Amino acid sequence: MVLNLVKMITMANMLSMFILMEVVAGGFRFGVDGLRMDYYIMSCPFAESIVKNTVNRALQDDPTLAAALVRMHFHDCFIEGCDGSILIDSTKDNTAEKDSPGNLSLRGYEVIDDAKEQLEDQCPGIVSCADIVAMAARDAIFWSEGPVYDIPKGRKDGRRSKIEDTINLPFPTFNTSELISAFGKRGFTAQEMVALSGAHTLGVARCSSFKNRLSNADANLDSEFAKTLSKTCSAGDNAEQPFDATQNTFDNFYFNALIRKSGVLFSDQVLYTTPRTRNIVYGYAMNQAMFFFDFQQAMVKMGKVDVKEGSNGEVRQNCRKIN
């Protein structure tokens, strides 16, 4: 009798575990918004590997493109959602997002074009440009020794790309409250905002993005590092300053630089200066695994910002033009 009761309880537990696992796995497979991990499995089974090989080839030639591809995904998602709107070229009637001052230093469009061309050859009209950008960013992070993660796919491409919309990108002059508010508007917590800022472990900023910090004495800027920044700027507004000592490697050096008051942008350094986010920066600087975990979760979430599905969008034939 007691044995039977134990067996029944054990079976009931196993059943509820199974149901829970199905719910979790189901949510994982299909995502909350209709995006799916296996979206192209039948319609374009080599989509993932075509993008990955294209990205790997491009990064072998020019490792600095990893940063560019990650930034491109961010700038795509924050304006009009992750819908490939950043890729659209201006026309005589429309100045597109990519021609706004905040986007002029974006690069890597030719990597997306290259992947798209091969995908159109293999499975015409199936793989969206928005998905290519999301996959390319993910592959660039892995290539740079960052976390490996899977992303759901099925984003459609948007039909709007207007320079005036880019006013909604965060500025490098933002303080912590402004950063929290800009990311909060898109559903991100302060912790997710700090994790995503960790993308600045890759790449460079040009002098024009930080030179305003050099004119006044700044107690939150290390005096030796201020000299480094000034030296960079002596070569002009377009001179590039790596965000950390390992600009092509995805690691937590960026957060360690912030602790040493050696953040490049004002919006980087404030994350450590203000009590609200200081401990998060400290945590990521001390524990790279924690940063990687939070970063990949936040990137998957970023890739779902205002995605277009069904007839709300299209699959562009050429990523630079609406159909």
CB of 322 to ligand HEM, least distance (A): 25
Shortest Cβ contact with ligand HEM: which residue? 203
Binding residues for Ca(2+): 76, 81, 83, 85, 97, 201, 244, 246, 251
The span from the first CA to the last CA of the chain, in angstroms, equals 70
Binding residues for substrate: 170
- Residue placing its CB nearer to ligand HEM in the complex, 54 or 209: 209
Binding residues for heme b: 200
- Residue placing its CB nearer to ligand HEM in the complex, 205 or 315: 205
- Residue placing its CB nearer to ligand HEM in the complex, 98 or 315: 98
CB of 178 to ligand HEM, least distance (A): 9
DSSP string, 178-209: HHHHHHHTTT--HHHHHHHHGGGGSSEEEGGG
Q: CA 87 to CA 134: how far, in whole Å?
A: 12
- Residue placing its CB nearer to ligand HEM in the complex, 40 or 295: 295
Written as six digits, the tokens of 245 are 């000592």
Catalytic residue set: 75
Strands (E), 93-206: 204-206
Is residue 81 classed as helix, strand or coil in its secondary structure?
coil
Closest CA to 257 of 210, 208, 198: 198
Q: CA 123 to CA 49: how far, in whole Å?
A: 13
Positions in the binding site for ligand HEM (CB under 6 A): 67-68, 70-71, 74, 105, 107, 170-172, 174, 179, 196-197, 199-200, 202-206, 209, 265, 267
CB of 109 to ligand HEM, least distance (A): 12
Is residue 217 classed as helix, strand or coil in its secondary structure?
coil
Q: Could you tell me if 153 and 144 are in contact, meaning their C-beta atoms sit under 8 angstroms apart?
A: no
Give Cβ neighbours of residue 237 (< 8 Å, ≥ 6 apart).
206, 207, 208, 211
Evaluated on CA atoms 233, 173, 169, 92, the torsion sign reads negative
- Residue placing its CB nearer to ligand HEM in the complex, 134 or 265: 265
CB of 105 to ligand HEM, least distance (A): 3
CB of 130 to ligand HEM, least distance (A): 15
